[in-house]
Amino acid sequence: MNELELRKRLALLRTEHRDLDAAIDALRDTGSTDQLQIARLKKRKLLLRDQIAILEDMLLPDIIA
């Protein structure tokens, strides 16, 4: 992947991460008792966070100066 593709993928992942956050909040606000659904959304959100971190590391390599 080139840098432009990485940045596009990163933007998509960040958007999905925010959307999941909003969905989790909405479920909580409605008083949903579907804890399994909330747990699945949280797990997906954590996976996205890990993928975001990997892509960020690829775009901004750790340089020791």
Render pLDDT for 7-50 as a digit per residue (tens, 0 to 9).
999 999 999 999 999 999 999 998 877 899 999 999 999 999 99
Distances (CA, A) of 31 to 35, 37, 45: 10, 13, 20
Return the number of other C-beta atoms located less than 10 Å from residue 17's C-beta: 18
Q: Whole-model pTM?
A: 0.84
Kindly calculate the radius of gyration of the chain based on its CA atoms and give it in whole angstroms. 15
62 vs 13, more confident: 13
pLDDT value at residue 65:
58
Are 36 and 60 in contact by the 8 Å Cβ rule? The answer is no
